[in-house]
């Protein structure tokens, strides 16, 4: 399972790329408003500048709820970014399925996003979405067993031999990521604040403190400060 970064903040994207710990970046209109105000495409070009060397997929959502405007926006985003890794996010709905199908036929990779049910995800995949995004936290908020939905969608798409990947967003806790892994998600997209918790553990710190008591200077050949075995025995 891949981990994507759910952010449009340049410093966060840079820090994640430096660690090579994310396999993609997902943005949404809220993040872009916070980071870029009225210049979303200019900001997204800077994001592309950061992720282009690793060719990471970049998810960008259309900025309209009017299906008739979505195709034009997707084309404008594609032209402005000129980036092969672009993925256009289209929220799932009846009229939006036609948008997903149209975009797919125009060569776009589409993410059918904001899915709160298994059937929404399956319909988006059938329409040609390359990714479907399930909102884990928001589903859980309304009493839905989000883990079961992920499992059902992942299984159904695998059984159908579909090349559509299941992405899980709206991740609120570190452990949600493990649950997505167990349930067969292809990717989770997480806020930057959750990334350290995915690679740190208090018992790791405790273990390393124990090792630290045994640290000695490395006996690099030719290095004047390298300890001799006799020196170590005297400690
Ligand atoms: C998708 O773009 C985001 O991950 C999602 O909107 C965040 O959801 P939350 O506000 O429920 O955490």
pLDDT over 70 at 225, yes or no? no
Give the pTM: 0.92
Distance CA 178, CA 24 (A): 18
Pocket, ligand 1, Cβ cutoff 6 A: 6, 28, 137-138, 169-170, 172, 189
Q: Estimate to the nearest angstrom the gap between the alpha carbon of 135 and the chain centroid.
A: 13
pLDDT at position 80 is: 98
* For range 184-206, the mean pLDDT: 97
* For range 84-98, the mean pLDDT: 98
CA distances from 14 to 20, 54, 174, 193 (A): 10, 12, 21, 14
Domain extent listing, the chain: 2-198, 202-232
Q: Which CATH class is domain 2-198?
A: alpha beta
pLDDT over 50 at 169, yes or no? yes
pLDDT over 70 at 115, yes or no? yes
Collapse the DSSP code of 83 into the 3-class scheme (helix H, G, I; strand E, B; otherwise coil) and give the result: coil
| Residue 28 Cα to ligand 1 middle (Å) | 9
| Ligand 1: residue whose CA is nearest its atom 9 | 170
pLDDT band at 235; cut points 50, 70, 90: very low
**Which residues are CB-contacts of 43 (< 8 A; sequence separation ≥ 6)?**
8, 32, 35, 36
| Ligand 1: residue whose CA is nearest its atom 5 | 170
């Amino acid at each position: 399972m891949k981990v994507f970064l759910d952010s449009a903040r340049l410093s966060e994207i840079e820090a994640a790329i430096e660690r090579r710990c994310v396999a993609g970046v997902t943005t949404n209109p809220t993040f872009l408003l916070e980071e870029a105000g009225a210049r979303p495409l200019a900001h997204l070009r800077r994001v592309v500048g950061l992720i282009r060397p690793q060719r990471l997929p970049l998810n960008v959502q259309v900025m309209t709820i009017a299906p008739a405007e979505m195709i034009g926006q997707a084309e404008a985003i594609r032209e402005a970014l000129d980036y092969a890794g672009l993925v256009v996010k289209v929220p799932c709905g009846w009229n939006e399925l036609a948008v997903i199908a149209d975009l797919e036929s125009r060569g776009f990779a589409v993410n059918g996003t904001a899915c709160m049910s298994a059937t929404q995800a399956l319909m988006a995949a059938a329409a040609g979405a390359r990714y479907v995004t399930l909102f884990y936290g928001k589903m859980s908020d309304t009493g839905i067993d989000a883990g079961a939905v992920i499992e059902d969608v992942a299984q159904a798409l695998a059984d159908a031999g579909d090349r559509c990947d299941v992405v899980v967003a709206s991740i609120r806790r570190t452990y949600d990521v493990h649950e997505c892994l167990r349930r067969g998600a292809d990717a989770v997209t997480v806020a930057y604040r959750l990334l350290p918790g995915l690679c740190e553990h208090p018992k790791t710190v405790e273990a390393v403190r124990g090792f630290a008591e045994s640290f000695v200077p490395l006996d690099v050949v030719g290095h004047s400060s390298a300890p001799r075995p006799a020196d170590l025995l005297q400690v």
